[in-house]
Amino acid sequence: MRLAIVDDESVYRSQIAQLISSVYGKTEVSCFLYADGSELLQSFENGFVPDAVFLDIEMKDIDGMTAAKKIRDYSKDIPVIFLTSHTELAMEGYEVDAFRFLCKPVNESKLREALTDLEKKLKVDEKIVLHKDGEELVNSVSDLIYIEAANNCVRFCFRSETIELRMKFADALKMVDEVCTDFSKIHRSYYVNLGHVKKLSATDVILDNKEVLPVARSASAEVKKDLLEYIRRNGR
């Protein structure tokens, strides 16, 4: 994730960046720090669009609310998490579709909750684009239940449809991994979205569309580990 942190007090910028890094590690998230709203907006002008913005409300020059309204001119979807010492300002945030409010100084457990909810929101919005017969087929990756190797083709099984493409299974796995980390290879021919798993045993997995897929003996322990990690991350 690419997160913008905007606060005119360097101590708060650094605190939030350090807390976020302690949750995710520096390899999973990048924090971009800005001293005021004008710096952030300039980055939008230059083409940089973060996945979410942590935005202090009370700043000199361009305050947080004004900056948020201008952000909405660029995108209606970017989550904005407001930082404030005055909770009475929260109501005004609904005008710009604020995602969360965090009180300053930021509490670590509250930040973790906000990050968990943010991650879920961003995953829901992630898309996978498949190219078939000259068309671009766009689906939410959260709707992708599993992918299957079938001879020289790959079947993408979504909630509402199954799309078959002529491609390498390894390339399909790479494509999915670029947009989502919630899949596990349960068998040499199956890559399953852990969010759709209803029951797991040493020999098979039952999915929420009622399909039963085989679990390779050599993969059983790793799949169980992946599922437990998924549950830990998503509180499921």
Residue 90 is part of a domain; what is its CATH number? Answer: 3.40.50.2300
Q: How confident is the model at residue 17 (pLDDT cuts 50, 70, 90)?
A: very high
Question: Is the model's pLDDT at 214 over the cut of 80?
Answer: yes
Look at residue 49 in the predicted model and tell me its pLDDT.
85
Residue 132 sits in the same domain as residue 94: no
Look at residue 63 in the predicted model and tell me its pLDDT.
82
Task: Spell out the SS3 assignment of 82-129.
Answer: EEECCHHHHHHHHHHCCCEEEECCCCHHHHHHHHHHHHHHHHHHCEEE
Q: How confident is the model at residue 124 (pLDDT cuts 50, 70, 90)?
A: low
Residue 150 sits in which domain range?
A: 126-234
Mean pLDDT confidence for 81-101: 70
Question: Is the model's pLDDT at 173 over the cut of 80?
Answer: yes
Look at residue 165 in the predicted model and tell me its pLDDT.
96
CATH of the domain at 197: 2.40.50.1020
Residue 150 sits in the same domain as residue 120: no
Domain boundary among 124, 141, 176: 124
Residue 117 sits in the same domain as residue 132: no
Residue 14 sits in the same domain as residue 115: yes
Residue 172 sits in the same domain as residue 197: yes
Residue 169 sits in the same domain as residue 138: yes
Question: Is the model's pLDDT at 236 over the cut of 80?
Answer: no
Residue 102 sits in the same domain as residue 14: yes
Question: Is the model's pLDDT at 202 over the cut of 90?
Answer: yes
Q: How many structural domains are present in the chain?
A: 2
Residue 168 sits in the same domain as residue 211: yes
The residue ranking higher by pLDDT, 117 or 145, is 145
Range with the poorest average pLDDT among 19-33, 56-70, 91-105, 155-169: 91-105
Range with the poorest average pLDDT among 46-55, 91-100, 114-123, 130-139: 91-100
Instruction: Report the alpha-carbon distance of residue 190 to residue 177 in Å, rounded.
Output: 14
Residue 147 sits in the same domain as residue 132: yes
Look at residue 54 in the predicted model and tell me its pLDDT.
96
Domain boundary among 69, 92, 124: 124
Domain boundary among 89, 124, 159: 124
User: Is the full-model pTM beyond 0.85?
Assistant: no
Mean pLDDT confidence for 33-58: 91
Residue 204 sits in the same domain as residue 223: yes
Residue 103 sits in the same domain as residue 144: no
Residue 99 sits in the same domain as residue 159: no
Phi-psi region of 235 (alpha: psi -120 to 50; beta: other; left: phi over 0): left
